[in-house]
Amino acid sequence: MGFPAPGRPHSAVITASQPRDGSADCTARRNAILSVDDDPGTREVVNWALSLAGLDVETASSGGEALSLARLTRFDLMIVDQQLPDMRGTDLIRTLRNEMRPPRFVLVSGFLTTAITVEAMKLGAVDVMEKPVDIDDLVPIVCDAIGDSPTRRHTGAGRRPVDSQGLHAIHTPAVRDNVRPGSAAERWAMHVLRACESTRDLKTLEDWASFAGVSYSSLRESCHLLGIPPHDARDLTRVLRAVLKSRRHHCSPEVLLDVSDGRTLEKLLRRAGFSGGSGAGVTPEHFLRDQRFVATENAGLRILGLLLARRGRF
């Protein structure tokens, strides 16, 4: 399904707010989205659909115009076409990363390749989508990314409920019967799943704890209670995230691991149970079965498998 026929786009209204730290004259706008595309029809439809969802939308037709707008206004998220008339979308993001806090973004492309996908993911893309983009997919992705609860309720019919920490709730009897709410094993598994939502490789325990919204000591204690060395739990989490995202973006998991040293990467992949040094085609189920980071009989790992099955990730 492609874009629906647009109605009159709702014009975005710029509202002044506080200057952003480290960026002179930069203002913030609640639920502000910048759509960057040289095709006027695409800009009109994205503006129309996101405005109907209650978002404040600004558009740009080139990378240069987008840079000018982003330097004046802090946008919650950018939707960027890879093929702009004056630069690539990923180059636009790199320029902004060098000047200010890295922006959250969704990359779209009519000529999507594995190389472009991997490049975007390493830059921290929330998602990578092929054009023509299905607006029914784009709107929920944008709303989820900016964390606007009223908007998610408006656009997310049929989506899984989310708990107060942003984690998907557990509802099926199969999971309820095997998970004791609040148990150490459940808490650990939820920390792992939370990390798998990261747009970047969480290479340290500190990174993992920060992203999961828990203290470093609490995360270590959660691992120790299950008899899992914290660094082994971290490495299992890193590889599981790579496996999950590689299936969505049709690439090998190892390209999503931020490891520059070849010997370190080889050791990590060997412990992950990847045959031939590549995880191409490996499913999350097979990874959890073959990996050598955490014992297969560990309670936390069993619950992690149940939660992944509940979400249809196997």
Task: Name 168's bridge partners.
Answer: 162
Q: Which residues contact 77 (CB under 8 A, 6 or more apart)?
A: 33, 34, 103, 104, 105, 106, 126, 142, 145, 146
- Quick: pLDDT tens for 17-43: 333 344 444 555 678 999 999 988 888
CB 78 within 8 A of CB 105: yes
C-beta neighbour count of 157 within 10 angstroms: 7
What pLDDT is stored for residue 271 in this prediction? Answer: 95
- Quick: pLDDT tens for 88-104: 999 999 999 988 877 78
Is 254's pLDDT higher than 60? yes
Q: Where are the domains of the chain?
A: 27-155, 173-310
- Quick: pLDDT tens for 205-238: 999 999 888 888 889 988 988 999 999 999 999 9
Where do we find the tokens 């190389």?
115
CA distance 11 to 211: 35
CB 104 within 8 A of CB 126: yes
C-beta neighbour count of 24 within 10 angstroms: 8
- Quick: pLDDT tens for 258-286: 998 889 999 999 999 998 778 888 999 99
pTM, two decimals, is: 0.53
Q: Residue 291: which of 268, 259, 262 has the closest Cα?
A: 268
What pLDDT is stored for residue 146 in this prediction? Answer: 84
Chosen CATH of 27-155 out of 3.40.1080.10, 3.40.50.2300, 3.30.420.40, 3.40.50.360: 3.40.50.2300
CA distance 80 to 93: 9
CA distance 80 to 86: 13
Give every strand in the sheet of 105-109, ordered side by side: 56-60, 32-36, 77-81, 105-109, 127-130
CA distance 211 to 19: 25
Cis peptide before 132 (omega within 30 of 0): yes
